[in-house]
A and B are shown apart, each in its own frame.
Chain A
Amino acid sequence: MAKRITIQATRFDPEKDDKPRLQSYDIPFSDDSMVVLDALNHIKAHVDGTLSYRWSCRMGICGSCGMMINGTPKLTCSAFLRDYWPQPVVVQPLNNFPIVRDLVIDMEDFMDKLKSVKPWIVRKQEIPLGAGEHVQTTSQIDDFKQFSQCINCMLCYAACPVYGLNNEFLGPAAIALARRYNLDSRDQGLKDRLPVIAESEGVWECSFVGECSVVCPKGVDPAKAIQQTKLDTTMRFVLPYGNRE
């Protein structure tokens, strides 16, 4: 007899419900390579077409399918059912974000915070294409490469109790990406980002819980980026001529 697994998914219809509730679905667990996203897709296709959730690439690249799996933020495309079976799997929307419908969260606050740190290369004056490429050594690339792996999946925000208690906190991913560009030898946007990252709701709001780095599916260490930014901004303030670019 084929194995089966119970998925308990959050349901919330803003037109009808006062608060979210869990709904159970008993589905076939036919293949050990099945992930939680496959289970949601099975429910959507064969059991209940009204279930809403975000997903796209199915291979841990797009960062769309982050949800709480048994209370831990994970990409559903990377969470194997075999790791939970025969226990039920509870699938909920990411913590710390408003819920739009079922498993879909409102991510606008995160998008605003991301934009506020200008996560792109800022140049005071663009070098004309004819002047050649921006040459970087491997050592210069190593300085920021780790932080450039971020896929904006927001798992770190769901794991961060500081953001959960005060959503004015800039948050782990935005600060990690700010550091990624501040460490890039081609970038000249440090002074544009400092007013955002060095203020009280920026790096100084973080009390180093460290769970953001634990849950990151791409091995980025946002806690490290935040603590190093604290040290750097302090040195800029304390050292003579420390405020130079």
Chain B
Amino acid sequence: MSLRAGEARPALSNTYRWSMPANWWTRKRHYFFYMLREFTALPLALWLLWFLVEIKRAGGGPAAYAPHGSALFVAFSVVCFVFALYHSITFLSLAGVIIHVKLLGRPVPSRLIVLSQFGLWALASLVIGFVLIWFGR
């Protein structure tokens, strides 16, 4: 029997069909941290949506704008910041696996690629921080 691309062969009729238990991601540390990594995107997306609302509110000028400062929102922002750090660190650490470049005919070591990613991250953070502080004065 030949199958088209992306098609799975139906199991033989007298086999036992294995199915993933709903709690599969709690059974191994690696799976748990993978799920955590994927989950962090959700609160980050919510926080960014809120950030867009704040930008819209700030459109009326500094006199009319008061930032949202409830304790709950600050706590949510701190959690989001930790999630953003975790997501960024895991993402950039994987860059060494994904990116393969050769320099002078030899492959660049993964460690160097990861370090360069973290370096660029630090540089971008410094530039953004400088711009925000400079223009916020």
**Interface of A with B (CB < 8 Å)?**
12, 14-15, 17, 19-20, 71, 93, 95-100, 106, 108-109, 112, 116, 139, 142, 161, 164-165, 167-168, 170, 195-196, 199-202, 207-211, 214, 221, 223-224, 227-228, 230-231
| Interface membership of chain B positions 1-18, coded 1 if the CB is closer than 8 angstroms to chain A and 0 otherwise | 111011111011011111
Contact status of A231 and B98, CB under 8 A, knowing A106-B12, A109-B9, A211-B31: yes
Provide the residues of chain A in CB contact with B38, threshold 8 Å: 207
- Chain B residue nearest to A19 in the complex (CB): B16
Any A CB within 8 A of the CB of B68: no
Q: Tell me the count of chain B residues lying within 8 A, CB to CB, of chain A.
A: 32
**Interface of B with A (CB < 8 Å)?**
1-3, 5-9, 11-12, 14-18, 20, 24-25, 27-28, 30-31, 34, 38, 94, 97-100, 105-107
Q: Do the beta carbons of B15 and A106 come within 8 Å of each other? A: yes
- Chain A residue nearest to B110 in the complex (CB): A224
Q: Do the beta carbons of A95 and B18 come within 8 Å of each other? A: yes
Contact status of A200 and B11, CB under 8 A, knowing A211-B30, A223-B97, A224-B97: no
Q: What's the dominant secondary structure at chain A's contact region?
A: loop
Give the top 8 A-B pairs by smallest Cβ distance, nearest first: A201-B6, A98-B15, A98-B11, A14-B14, A99-B16, A227-B98, A109-B9, A167-B8
Q: Do the beta carbons of A227 and B12 come within 8 Å of each other? A: no
Number of residue pairs spanning A and B whose beta carbons lie under 8 angstroms apart: 92
Q: Do the beta carbons of B20 and A200 come within 8 Å of each other? A: no
- Chain A residue nearest to B12 in the complex (CB): A106
- Chain B residue nearest to A197 in the complex (CB): B5
Provide the residues of chain A in CB contact with B1, threshold 8 Å: 112
Q: Do the beta carbons of B18 and A98 come within 8 Å of each other? A: yes
Q: How far is the CA of A200 from the CA of B5 in the complex (A)?
A: 10
Provide the residues of chain A in CB contact with B97, threshold 8 Å: 221, 223-224, 227-228
How near does chain B come to A94, taking the closest CB pair, in angstroms? 9
Q: How far is the CA of A199 from the CA of B29 in the complex (A)?
A: 30
Q: Do the beta carbons of A209 and B98 come within 8 Å of each other? A: no
Provide the residues of chain A in CB contact with B27, threshold 8 Å: 71
